[in-house]
Amino acid sequence: MTTGSLLILAGDGIGPEVMAEVRKIIDWYGAKRDLSFDVSEGLVGGCSYDAHGTPLTDETMARAQEVDAVLLGAVGGPAYDNLDFSVKPERGLLRLRKEMDLYSNLRPAQCFDALADFSSLKKDVVAGLDIMIVRELTSGIYFGEPRGIIKEGNERVGINTQRYTESEIARVARSAFELARRRGNKVCSMEKANVMESGILWRDVVTEVHAAEYADVELSHMYADAGAMQLCRWPKQFDVIVTDNLFGDLLSDAAAMLTGSLGMLPSASLGAPMENGRPKALYEPVHGSAPDIAGQGKANPIACVLSFAMALRYSFDLGAEADRLEAAVEKVLADGVRTADLLGQEGVTPVSTSQMGDAIVAALDASL
């Protein structure tokens, strides 16, 4: 029986390499857990531009709207730096997010015990860290109008507009509160209500949604700059953080480095439920296309693997299987298996991208 449909968009750089390891795990679930997926593939980013003259074709966009989940590798690279802005590889990813209305971006920051020494913070500060940043993804300053570069007198002026509606804030707040109920039942909302009117509205709407629908969840508020400081001081005070598009971009990148390597971090972008009740969803590793190591077998596939684990949990309601996959990754790391980005400790076993995927599959076998 088919569990659901997946569209794989491996993309550019190391994207195809890390996605190949996810395919091994998808095949394992079909063979060992009777969880088969209807998998199709497409192009996005630079490879799509090379083939079709656009970073995302209308046909691929339509397929993304139809499937239960999209798995994306990475887009971009220096070969495309001089393209017109409208056809840069990143525009394909932005189109997917916008047209699928993926307003809730989930970026976990989890520090596995075996990797606590890789963090720039002291081990006791990050060991056992497990927080989730929920970033509003389809509005705010990245999309607000007016925007652009204009001429005023003898100089140029750059304009971007921070804009949020009540409904845009309310729906991402609900996403954060629902997530908190599955975790530590605690949400911290971050904005800049002290200097920004959009921040005042953000705080008001989050408070209203909390009082009306989620009074059982603990809610606190914090200015985003203070939140950045607290993430570096004692990140384990947080469970779920909800914030806007710009601050979420900054705070989630800061939280990412607490864990020691971008090669470890997955993400999910979720939208409104489809007719089958599943949210529209796109899953992708936080890291970029890393063209400097593409094709060398050095890439760490774990972020992409953990992105698939998020798909199991949030798109297919297979929480126990997501736990199984995450535990397999943790076992491999505890056994000292390391890709190039995680070397530097004594007694570890260096492996290639493909060998890391094989090790995770072997750990899955051992879990049965």
Q: Which residues are catalytic?
A: 142, 192, 225, 249, 253
Alpha-carbon span 277 to 177, nearest angstrom: 19
- Is the separation of the CB atoms in 2 and 36 below 8 Å? yes
| Cis preceding linkage at 146, omega within 30 | yes
Alpha-carbon span 261 to 118, nearest angstrom: 7
Angle between helices 166-182 and 197-213 (to 10 degrees): 50
SS3 assignment for 135-147: EECCCHHHCEEEE
Instruction: Write out the two tokens for 87.
Output: 């056809």
Give CB contacts under 8 A, 24+ apart, made by 199-202. Answer: 201/164, 201/166, 201/169, 202/164, 202/169, 202/244
User: E strands of the chain, at which residues?
Assistant: 2-11, 36-42, 69-74, 104-110, 130-136, 144-152, 155-161, 186-191, 218-223, 240-243, 266-273, 279-285, 337-338, 349-350
Q: DSSP letter at 246? A: H
End-to-end CA distance of the chain: 20
Residue that is written with structure tokens 């192009």 in the block: 43
What Å distances lie between residue 1 and 41, 183, 289, 350, CA to CA?
A: 20, 31, 34, 38
Alpha-carbon span 15 to 211, nearest angstrom: 43
